[in-house]
Structure formats: structure tokens, C-alpha cells
Amino acid sequence: MELFELTAHELADLIRRGEVSAEEIADSVLRRIDQVEEDVRAYLTVTRDRALAAARAVDARRQKEEDSGPLAGIPVGLKDNLCTQGVRTTCASRMLENFVPPYNATVVEKLYQAGAVVTGKLNMDEFAMGSTTEYSAFFPTRNPWDLSRVPGGSSGGAAAAVAAGEAIYALGSDTGGSIRQPASFCGVVGMKPTYGLVSRYGLVAFASSLDQVGSLTKDVRDCALVLNAIAGHDPLDSTSVPMEVPDYTSFLTGEMKGKRIGVIKEMFDEGLDPEMAEVVKKGVKKLEELGGIVEECSFPHAEYAIAIYYIIAPAEASSNLARFDGIRYGYRANQEEGKELDLQELYLRTRSEGFGPEVKRRILVGTYALSSGYYDAYYLKALKVRTLIREDYRRLFQNFDLLVSPTAPCLPFPLGEKLDDPIVLYLADVYTVPVNLAGLPAISLPCGFVRGLPVGMQLIAPAFKEGDLLQVAYAFEQNTPYHKERPPLQGKSPAEAVEGG
């Protein structure tokens, strides 16, 4: 077993016992990047030197017998919409191609303080808008389980990197399923915490009332460890909730007897791939065997979630992305020699050249939905339906501790297949979006395979009940083998990797 194949907690144990150094672990992951990155293309920026320096610093602290905590010396990749001081942060957009933030996102700062070894910045759909990572302005990422298929999106680079062993874990962001759907496609654990539990300071905003930073990990214990590191109040984020955060690993008991689990029947209907339905139903059966009290339930407004999401998210995006004007940072349209553009032309050309097609599409939809005469019919109406969706959840959580559904309706599809029709692509998020509209926590767990491709099962909890989520997820994982499977990825031989790397 190579070091890059292990989980964060396994590596932390090895470090603690003095069996490996942080530098050896960083070296293993960096060599793995050399070996498979040409095929997977998960990274936009690899921070090799910084990673090695950080690993050596952890080793130096250990020499002095300072305990550095469970994530110290563990290599992590960051989605490229998290600001990293001194390291370019592009959002996979031409608009920010050369942007080097002067500060760290709070979650990044917290990881640095925990001794993290950051291996680089991971590919994504431009400004986190998309479900395949094909809307990256630079190149698409490929699914490590089948390189002809997409890794999902928008945290596709993050999910692919973890699955391929190019990072031990990763941070992503989830606005409508952007952590959970790629986690499902790549066979890893993806968690979207409750809105407000994790700081959004330094996360480049897409839709501010929906965005949340979360993790992609190889197993549930790692998920709990990462949440321990990143959760908690941040005075720099006015939507961050001031509350005590528990030790999330204390919920990993392996016991889940008596948990009441609602199976959302609308999410097993004709929209779902039938073979996947079988796999997820088997997963639900497992929860029952483990002592869960499983019952079918109805989520009446689920079918409207995608429709209102594609009003609310673009509306907020059109407002957030108004800051990209070519003046203070980011791309600016070239001025021809001798002829100065006027301000209006500068805005128009900068934004039209800097943003890609999906971003423009959403800015236009959002602008339309917020414009005079349409505000009530689209935006306000959508916000009222959002209230109905929250009420559905509130009713369901009177009877259940958790809800379960598939994470995505389909297996990872071939690259290019669904790019022509935005609405078909939007439906890849049909089971994940309602969670963001209500601000709830949810996790996607590997629950089996169909035709060699991973399938994810989604668990949803009431706000701030991450502990329940992790407890049930852990019990499931301990009694199933799926999280131990790794993609059959060959890549270059070590010798070629050194030459080419």
C-alpha cells in the first residue's frame, strides 16, 4: 500500500507513531500527481515547493515533540474558488486567470494553523457554475474511474483528486450539490455542512444564500476530522453562526440503533437510473439492518426545487459577479493603441471576454429575474416556494432524524454528452438542490457500483445536526466495503513520471 492511498487519520497515526514523516507523505502524493495528472487533470495549480516546505515544518515541530493535531502533515487540495494568499485563485475563469489574493480564506487559514500541507488548487466549473467541470475555462477534469467520463461538478477537480490519490482530502464548495454530486460520481465521501457553520470568508461568492464550504474525503472519519478543523464562528463572515462546535469524531460510535430514517419516495421515481435505484435501495436496507427505523415519506415540493434554484442562484450570481468590472483586479479588455475605450465599452468588453458561456447564461437569467416588471413573477415567487420547501423539511423532521435519497439521478456521463442542453445538465442536481435551499447539512456516501461506476447515497439532517449525519454515515461505512475501493488508474510508470513530471 502506498502512502497516497491511505486516509488522513491513517496517515496521522503513522506520523504520530513516528513511522513516516510528513515529508514522505507529501512526496508520495506529489509523485502520484506526476504519475496520473496527465490523465485526470484535477489541478489548475500545483504548489509543490510550498507543500514540501509545509511538510518539513510539521516534521521540525514533531522533532521538538510538539503535538500538531490530526491533520498536521496531511496533504490537502483546495477548490480554486478558495482564496490563498500568494497562490493564484482563478475560479477556473479567464476573468481571474492571474488573480493572486492578498489574504487567505478563513477555512484555508484554519487548515494552515492545523498544519495542513496544501498541494494546490483544484479544477472546477467556472465560478462553480456547472455539474461536470467541463465549464472550466482551462480544461475539463476526467473521472478517475473512467477517463472518458466527467467527474461531476462543480467541485469535480476536488472529487477526482481525492479518488485518484492526488490529495488525501480536499475542500470544495456546495451551492446546489457541487460537493455531493461529484463525490457520488467519483466514489468519495462529500459533506455539505449547515449554512453558517463554516465560514464563507474568502470563498469567491456564487450565490451567497446557498454557498457553503465543505469536504471531500475518503471516509467518514476523515470527514469528521476536517469538519472539526473548519467549523466555527468567524467574525469576518456576518452569516457565520456564533455557537459551540462539538468534537465531531465523538459521534463515530458505529451505533445507529433507533434512528428514524425517512426515504424520500419522490427521489426514487422515474427520473432515477433503475440500476442505481436498486443499489441505493440496498443501501437503505443496510441502514435498516443496522437498527434504523426506515419508513417511506413524501416531499411534495421537491419537483419545484430545481426551477426555483435556477431563479435564486442566478439572481444572486448576477449581483455577486457585478464586481468583475475590469478596474481593480481580474481581467481587463485590451485597449487598442491610441484609442481609449469609454467606461461602458470597457465594462462590456471585459465581462464579455472574461466570462464563459454558462456564467453569462446565468448572469442573464438572474438579471432578467431581478429586472423591473419580472421581480415579483420570478424572484419573489421563487422565494415563496423556497419557504414551502423549508416547511416540507420541517414537517419531515418532526417524524425523522434523517432523510435518505440517491445523491444524483444518473451515473457519471461521457464528456461532452450533455453540454448542449443546459436544462438536462441542471437536472443532475435534482436531489441535492433542495438541501441548499433550506440550508441543511447533507452527506454523500459511496453505496455501491453500477457497471464499474460509483453510486452515492445522500443523507440529510436538520440544521446543525452534523453529528447525527456522521453517526449514521459511519455505522453504514463500517458495515460496507465501498469506501475501500479505489479506481483502477495506472498513469505513467514512476520512471516516466520523474522524466515528464
Partner 1 sequence: MKLSRKEVEHVAMLARLSLRDDEIEDVGAQLSSILEFVEKINRIDTEGVEPTYHVLPIKNVWRQDEERPPLVQEETFRNAPQREGSYFRVPRIL
* Positions marked active-site: 79, 154, 178
Contact 11, 27 (CB under 8 A): no
Q: Which of 14, 52, 147, 241 binds partner 1 (CB under 8 A)?
A: 241
CA angle 353, 359, 363 (to 5 degrees): 100
Which of helix, strand or coil describes residue 301? coil
Q: Which of 94, 281, 332, 395 binds partner 1 (CB under 8 A)?
A: 332
DSSP β-ladder status, 293-297 and 442-450: unpaired
Tell whether residue 94 is a contact of partner 1 (CB under 8 A).
no
What HEC string does 398-452 produce?
HHCCEEEEECCCCCCCECCCCCCCHHHHHHHHCCCHHHHHHCCCEEEEEEEEECC
Report the site for partner 1 in 426-455 (rule: CB under 8 A): 426, 437-439
Q: What's the rounded Cα separation, in Å, for the pair 160 and 122?
A: 9
Beta strands in 74-116 (DSSP E): 75-79
Least distance to partner 1, CB of residue 334, Å: 10
Tell whether residue 293 is a contact of partner 1 (CB under 8 A).
no
Residue among 88, 211, 202 at smallest CA distance from 155: 211
Q: Which of 64, 338, 423, 488 binds partner 1 (CB under 8 A)?
A: 423
Beta carbon nearer to partner 1, 370 or 497: 370
DSSP β-ladder status, 260-264 and 293-297: parallel
Beta carbon nearer to partner 1, 100 or 297: 100
Least distance to partner 1, CB of residue 40, Å: 30
Least distance to partner 1, CB of residue 224, Å: 23
Beta carbon nearer to partner 1, 185 or 379: 379
Tell whether residue 97 is a contact of partner 1 (CB under 8 A).
no
Q: How many CB atoms lie within 10 A of CB 235?
A: 10
Tell whether residue 330 is a contact of partner 1 (CB under 8 A).
yes
Which of helix, strand or coil describes residue 490? coil
Beta carbon nearer to partner 1, 322 or 498: 322
Per-residue binding string, partner 1, 252-271, x by CB under 8 A, is --------------------
Q: What's the rounded Cα separation, in Å, for the pair 86 and 293?
A: 50
Beta carbon nearer to partner 1, 58 or 363: 363
Q: What's the rounded Cα separation, in Å, for the pair 136 and 406?
A: 26
How many residues in the shown chain lie near partner 1 by CB under 8 A?
A: 70
Tell whether residue 14 is a contact of partner 1 (CB under 8 A).
no
Q: How many CB atoms lie within 10 A of CB 290?
A: 18
Tell whether residue 381 is a contact of partner 1 (CB under 8 A).
yes
Beta carbon nearer to partner 1, 100 or 293: 100
Least distance to partner 1, CB of residue 170, Å: 25
Contact 136, 124 (CB under 8 A): yes
Query: In Å, how far are 248, 284, 310, 491 from 471, measured between CA atoms?
Result: 9, 15, 33, 36
Residue among 367, 115, 201, 404 at smallest CA distance from 283: 404
Q: Which of 349, 395, 486, 492 binds partner 1 (CB under 8 A)?
A: 349
Joined grid coordinates for residue 139: 480544461
Report the site for partner 1 in 99-118 (rule: CB under 8 A): 99-100, 102-103
Tell whether residue 347 is a contact of partner 1 (CB under 8 A).
yes
Distance of CA 69 to the CA centre of its chain: 24
Beta carbon nearer to partner 1, 285 or 384: 384
Beta strands in 451-489 (DSSP E): 453-460
Report the site for partner 1 in 356-375 (rule: CB under 8 A): 360-361, 363-368, 371
Q: Which of 245, 297, 307, 419 binds partner 1 (CB under 8 A)?
A: 307
Tell whether residue 42 is a contact of partner 1 (CB under 8 A).
no
Q: Which of 45, 209, 249, 478 binds partner 1 (CB under 8 A)?
A: 209
Beta carbon nearer to partner 1, 164 or 317: 317
Q: Which of 57, 297, 385, 419 binds partner 1 (CB under 8 A)?
A: 385
Contact 206, 128 (CB under 8 A): yes
Question: Which residues are near partner 1 by CB under 8 A?
Answer: 98-100, 102-103, 195-196, 209, 235, 238-239, 241, 301, 303-304, 307-308, 310-311, 318, 322, 325-332, 335, 340-344, 346-349, 351-352, 355, 360-361, 363-368, 371, 377-378, 380-388, 390, 422-423, 426, 437-439, 463
